[in-house]
Amino acid sequence: MKKKNYRIYSSVYKPGLVFFLLFFSMYGVSFSQSDNYWSWNFNTPSTLLAGSVVGGSAGPSAVYYNPALIDHESMPSLSLSANLVSLQFFKAKNIAGDGIDADKFIFKIQPRFLSYVLPTKNEKLGFEAAVLSPVSEEISYTIQHFEELDIIKRTLGAETYSGYLKYSRKYDDTWFGFGVSYQLSEQFYVGLSSFVSYKSLKYQYSQLAQAYQESDSVIVDQNMEPRYIAESGFDEELKYWDVSFVFKGGVQYKTKNDRIRVGANLTFPNIRFIGQADVRKSLYRSNVYNDSENAFTSNEIFIELEKNAKTTIKTPFSTAIGLQYFTKSRKNTISFTFEYFHGIDTYSIVDVPGSTGIGEDIIGNDFLSYFHSASSVINAGVGFKQFISPTFFVLGGFRTDFTSGISDNIRFTGGNFKINQIHMDKYHITVGPVLKIKRFDVVTGIQYSFGRNKDLDPLVNYAEPYEYIPQTGQALQGFRQDQASASINEIALFFGMTVDLNKK
Vertex 259, ends 339 and 500: CA angle to 5°?
80
Nearest to 174 by CA among 64, 91, 20: 64
Given a cut of 70, is residue 13 above it in pLDDT?
A: no
Which has more confidence, 418 or 316? 316
Phi, psi of 184 (to 5 degrees): -75, -35
Per-residue pLDDT averaged across 284-288, rounded? Answer: 95
DSSP codes of every residue in 437-452: ETTEEEEEEEEEEEEE
Q: For 112-116, 353-357, 420-424, which range has the lowest pLDDT when averaged over its residues? A: 353-357
Greater model confidence, 502 or 49: 49
Tell whether the model's pLDDT for residue 463 goes beyond 90: yes
Contacts of 298 (CB under 8 A, 6+ apart): 9, 10, 11, 14, 16, 17, 285
Give which of 373, 395, 393 is closest to 383, Cα–Cα: 395
Q: How confident is the model at residue 482 (pLDDT cuts 50, 70, 90)?
A: confident
148, 212, 315, 412 from 160: Cα distances, Å: 5, 5, 47, 34
What are residue 446's DSSP bridge partners?
A: 431, 493
Cα–Cα distance, 104 to 95 (Å, whole number): 13
Q: What is d(CA 333, CA 337) in angstroms, rounded to the nearest whole number? A: 14
Q: Given a cut of 80, is residue 5 above it in pLDDT? A: no
Mean pLDDT rounded to a whole number for the chain: 84
Residues in the chain: 504
| Residue 222: per-residue pLDDT | 86
C-alpha span between 188 and 182 (Å, rounded): 9
- Mapping DSSP onto H, E and C, the string for 189-256 reads EEEEEEEEEEEEEEEEEEEEEEEECCCCEEEECCEEEECCCEEEEEEEEEEEEEEEEEEEEEEEEECC
Residue 193 confidence (pLDDT) above 50: yes
The predicted model gives 154-162 an average pLDDT of 94
pLDDT tens-digit series, residues 32-54: 456 788 887 666 788 889 999 99
State residue 130 phi and psi, 5-degree precision.
Answer: -155, 155
* Band of pLDDT at residue 162, cut at 50, 70 and 90: very high
**Residue 418, pLDDT score:** 73
Asked if the model's pLDDT at residue 399 lies above 90, the reply is: yes
Question: Of the given ranges (21-25, 120-124, 168-172), which has the lowest mean pLDDT?
Answer: 21-25
Nearest one of 405, 400, 404, 406 to 379, comparing CA atoms: 400
3-state secondary structure 161-207: EEEEEEEEEEEEEEEEEEEEEEECCCCEEEEEEEEEEEEEEEEEEEE
What is the per-residue pLDDT across 385-396, written as a single tens digit (0 to 9) for each?
999 988 899 999
Rounded (5°) CA angle 481-104-138:
100
The predicted model gives 280-305 an average pLDDT of 92
Rounded to whole angstroms, the Cα distance separating 47 from 383 reads 10
Q: Which pLDDT belongs to residue 26?
A: 36
pLDDT tops 70 at residue 4 = no
Rounded CA separation 135/72 (Å) = 29
Domains belonging to the chain, first-starting first, are: 5-500 (2.40.160.60)
- Residue 502 confidence class, pLDDT cut points 50, 70, 90: low
Residue 499 banded pLDDT, cuts 50, 70, 90: confident
* Residue 292 clears pLDDT 80, i.e. is over it: yes
The reported pLDDT for the residue numbered 412 is 61
DSSP-derived letter for residue 18 is: H
pTM: predicted TM-score of the whole model, two decimal places: 0.85
In tens, the pLDDT along 409-454 reads 556 666 677 777 778 899 999 999 989 888 888 888 999 999 988 8
- What does the pLDDT average to over 123-146? 87
Mean pLDDT computed over 281-289: 93
Q: How far apart are CA 186 and CA 192, in angstroms?
A: 19
Higher pLDDT, 302 or 341: 341
More confident residue, 108 or 163: 163
**C-beta separation of 490 from 500 below 8 A:** no
Sign of CA dihedral 291, 294, 296, 302: negative
- CA dist 415 and 237 (Å) reads 21
Tell me the residue type at 330: R
- Residue 332's contacts (CB-CB under 8 Å, 6 or more residues apart) are 326, 384, 385, 386, 387
Residue 54: other Cβ atoms inside 10 A: 31
For residues 164-188, give the mean pLDDT. 92
Backbone φ, ψ for residue 447 (5° rounding): -130, 130
- Which tens digits make up the pLDDT trace of 213-267? 999 899 998 899 999 999 999 998 999 999 999 999 999 999 999 999 999 999 9
> 157 by DSSP, 3-state: which?
coil
Judged against a pLDDT cut of 50, whether residue 127 lies above it is answered with yes
pLDDT at 27 over 90: no
pLDDT of residue 41: 64
Residue 202 pLDDT greater than 80, yes or no: yes
Name which residue leads in pLDDT, 34 or 68.
68
Specify the pLDDT at position 29. Answer: 34
- pLDDT of amino acid 272: 94
The DSSP secondary-structure symbol of 4 reads: -
Task: Give the torsion sign (CA, 178, 70, 36, 432).
Answer: positive
pLDDT band at 360 (very low <50, low <70, confident <90, very high): very low
Instruction: Please give the share of the chain, as a percent, with pLDDT higher than 90.
Output: 52
φ, ψ of residue 401 in degrees (nearest 5): -150, 65
Query: Quick one: what percent of the chain has pLDDT higher than 70?
Result: 84
**Is the distance from CB of 161 to CB of 465 less than 8 angstroms?**
yes
**Is 398 a residue whose pLDDT tops 70?**
yes
